[in-house]
């Protein structure tokens, strides 16, 4: 939702929705008292979405009647009663002064305490922006899970057991559960040992600036994934659907696919293509894990790896923390093959340039006299579009019911806004999520779906998304690198086991008796 302000006339309470935090922040505020003189736009852009009380239709809205308009008293649509001024709750420290409002701000200083609306706005902006970050990560994570779940449901190869990796020498072949759990634990610890060892090797190489070796290693692993695993995937897909394909077509396809992948991941390529490839190789890895790890081992590995992630990223001597800090010290980006980022520096700047260009264009479009036709259409479009829309490209205020005052912002004002926004709202140019996180999320959901019960799959999916959301909130609060696995995997595991053991019999019974709750 937009960061709207809702004024409830009964409670005289203004509450600001903070959906990302799922809490409620309430602020008592005074109303800004504007006189009804034209030409003095209020400090903020429009606040649409104000609630009228139930049952009152638009045309009886007092604010819209002519009578109100003639009065020069403090009024506005957003309130019905006079409210006492002053007594405003102090805004939290650190809210920037509304310098961006330009010259018109000063005239209004006397009329209302500065900063309240702005601060609410800024918080709303941050919330909305934060929520956008979250959604921009939800989508690739969901896509990866979707690919894994779709493959696991349709191709039986990835759920067939029989071959195992060297890293998991205990194959859980005994009948008792205790033995299996013990085997699983040992397997998980062996895998953890391998992961720790490789991470330490990576750190050492990074510290010693052996970039060539690291790049070579990453190249080799992407080569393996993009060619060999892709061939296996393609073969199993074809076999699962009983389609035949000759070797020539297969080689051409896989060759092109692989080379394109290598280029877009390790060199330059369109952003969307790189993202798509990263999602694909994450799904391939997840599928490999699902196939080659025995049952209990897989769950144990998930738990152990999340604990490892927690330790490695948060503890002062943790290898991943060392890696991130070293990268930040040296002001280098972390290797592209390991990280998913939904935006890029050049992309963002490019977008801002385009935005600016649009505004300038609009300003130039406004005919300065005559040309009513064009003005009509433009204004109508703008009104219909801008009224319910909050955008920093025009100040719109209501002169009266029939008259709308649209003042496009001047170019320098826009520039200032951009600069401020850039610093305030874009501290890091986008959130990055490691590929390992994608892999383990998809492993959890893929394994849950391999048992054929969709309720469990959906529950795990939601749990992981919520965990990711919480992690990003914490990221916004703490503003430093955080492990993305623990919360999501914990939720995921809890939900998996509880749903499959407790909920499923319940809902199965309900569904077969067609009882709804």
Give the C-alpha separation, 507 to 515, whole Å: 9
**Assigned token pair, 245:** 């394909």
In the complex, minimum distance from the CB of residue 149 to another protein, in angstroms, rounded to a whole number: 12
Reference 302, options 195, 188, 454; nearest CA is 188
Q: Which residue out of 309, 376, 418, 423 is catalytically annotated?
A: 309
Q: Which residues contact 253 (CB under 8 A, 6 or more apart)?
A: 234
Minimum CB distance to another protein smaller for 37 or for 331: 37
Q: Which residues contact 162 (CB under 8 A, 6 or more apart)?
A: none
Per DSSP, the residues of 305-371 read: HHHHHHHHHHSTT-HHHHHHHHHHHTT-PPPGGGEEES--HHHHHHHHHHHHHHHHHHHHHS-SSS-
Burial group, residue 196, by CB count within 10 angstroms (0-12, 13-18, 19+):
middle
Give the C-alpha separation, 433 to 438, whole Å: 8
In the complex, minimum distance from the CB of residue 375 to another protein, in angstroms, rounded to a whole number: 5
In the complex, minimum distance from the CB of residue 396 to another protein, in angstroms, rounded to a whole number: 5
**33 and 74 Cβ atoms separated by less than 8 Å:** yes
**Assigned token pair, 105:** 């701000």
Minimum CB distance to another protein smaller for 263 or for 348: 348
| CA distances for 178 relative to 172, 173, 174, 290, 376, angstroms | 10, 12, 9, 22, 78
Most distant pair of Cα atoms in the chain: their distance: 89
**Assigned token pair, 393:** 């490209």
**458 and 478 Cβ atoms separated by less than 8 Å:** no
In the complex, minimum distance from the CB of residue 401 to another protein, in angstroms, rounded to a whole number: 7
Q: Is 309 a catalytic residue?
A: yes
In the complex, minimum distance from the CB of residue 204 to another protein, in angstroms, rounded to a whole number: 34
Minimum CB distance to another protein smaller for 47 or for 151: 47
Minimum CB distance to another protein smaller for 145 or for 188: 145
427: helix, coil or strand?
Answer: coil
Minimum CB distance to another protein smaller for 366 or for 417: 366
In the complex, minimum distance from the CB of residue 334 to another protein, in angstroms, rounded to a whole number: 25
In the complex, minimum distance from the CB of residue 505 to another protein, in angstroms, rounded to a whole number: 4
Give the C-alpha separation, 492 to 494, whole Å: 6
Minimum CB distance to another protein smaller for 128 or for 422: 128
Minimum CB distance to another protein smaller for 22 or for 208: 22
Minimum CB distance to another protein smaller for 4 or for 266: 4
Phi, psi of 14 (to 5 degrees): -110, 125
In the complex, minimum distance from the CB of residue 326 to another protein, in angstroms, rounded to a whole number: 33
Q: Which residues contact 404 (CB under 8 A, 6 or more apart)?
A: 379, 383, 396, 397, 398
Q: Which residue out of 35, 67, 376, 437 is catalytically annotated?
A: 437
- Find the radius of gyration of the CA atoms of the chain: 29
The catalytic residues are 309, 437
């Amino acid at each position: 939702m937009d960061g709207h302000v809702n004024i409830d006339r009964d409670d005289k309470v203004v509450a600001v929705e903070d959906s990302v935090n799922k809490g409620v922040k309430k602020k008592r505020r005074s109303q800004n008292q504007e006189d009804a003189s034209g030409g003095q736009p209020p400090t903020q852009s429009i606040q649409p979405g104000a609630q009228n009380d139930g049952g009152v239709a638009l045309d009886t809205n007092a604010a819209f009647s002519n009578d109100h308009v003639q009065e020069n008293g403090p009024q506005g649509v957003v309130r019905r009663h006079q409210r006492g001024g002053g007594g405003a709750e102090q805004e939290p420290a650190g809210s920037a002064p509304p310098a961006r409002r330009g010259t018109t701000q000063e005239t209004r200083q006397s009329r209302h305490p500065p900063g309240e609306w702005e601060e609410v706005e800024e918080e709303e902006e941050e919330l909305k922006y934060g929520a956008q970050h979250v959604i921009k990560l939800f989508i690739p994570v969901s896509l990866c899970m979707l690919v894994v779940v779709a493959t696991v449901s349709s191709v039986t190869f990835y759920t067939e057991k029989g071959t195992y990796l060297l890293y998991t020498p205990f194959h859980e072949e005994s009948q008792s559960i205790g033995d299996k759990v013990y085997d699983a634990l040992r397997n998980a610890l062996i895998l953890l040992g391998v992961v720790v060892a490789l991470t330490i090797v990576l750190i050492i190489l990074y510290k010693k600036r052996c970039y060539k070796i690291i790049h070579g290693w990453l190249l080799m692993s992407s080569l393996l994934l993009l060619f060999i695993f892709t061939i296996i995937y393609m073969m199993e897909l074809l076999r699962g659907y009983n389609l035949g394909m000759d070797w020539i077509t297969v080689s051409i396809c896989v060759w092109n696919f692989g080379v394109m992948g290598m280029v877009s991941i390790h060199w330059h390529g369109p952003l969307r293509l790189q993202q798509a490839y990263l999602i694909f190789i994450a799904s391939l890895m997840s599928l490999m894990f699902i196939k080659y790890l025995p049952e209990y081992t897989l769950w144990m590995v998930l738990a152990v790896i999340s604990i490892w992630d927690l330790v490695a990223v948060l503890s002062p001597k943790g290898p991943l923390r060392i890696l991130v800090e070293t990268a930040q010290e040296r002001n280098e980006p972390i290797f592209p093959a390991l990280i998913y980022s939904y935006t890029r520096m050049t992309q963002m700047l490019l977008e801002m340039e385009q935005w600016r260009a649009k505004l300038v264009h609009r300003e130039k479009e406004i005919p300065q006299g005559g040309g009513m036709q064009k003005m009509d259409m433009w204004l109508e479009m703008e009104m219909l579009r801008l009224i319910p829309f909050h955008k920093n490209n025009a100040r719109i205020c209501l002169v009266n019911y029939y008259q709308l005052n649209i003042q496009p912002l001047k170019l320098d004002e826009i520039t200032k806004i951009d600069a401020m926004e850039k610093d305030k709202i874009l501290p890091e140019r986008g959130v990055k999520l490691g590929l390992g996180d994608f892999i383990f999320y998809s492993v959890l959901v893929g394994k849950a779906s391999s048992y054929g019960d969709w309720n469990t799959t959906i529950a795990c999916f939601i749990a992981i998304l919520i965990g990711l959301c919480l992690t990003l909130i914490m990221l916004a609060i703490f503003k430093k690198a955080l492990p993305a696995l623990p919360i999501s995997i914990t939720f995921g595991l809890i939900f998996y086991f509880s749903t499959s053991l407790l909920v499923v019999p319940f809902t199965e019974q309900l569904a077969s008796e067609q009882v709804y709750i």
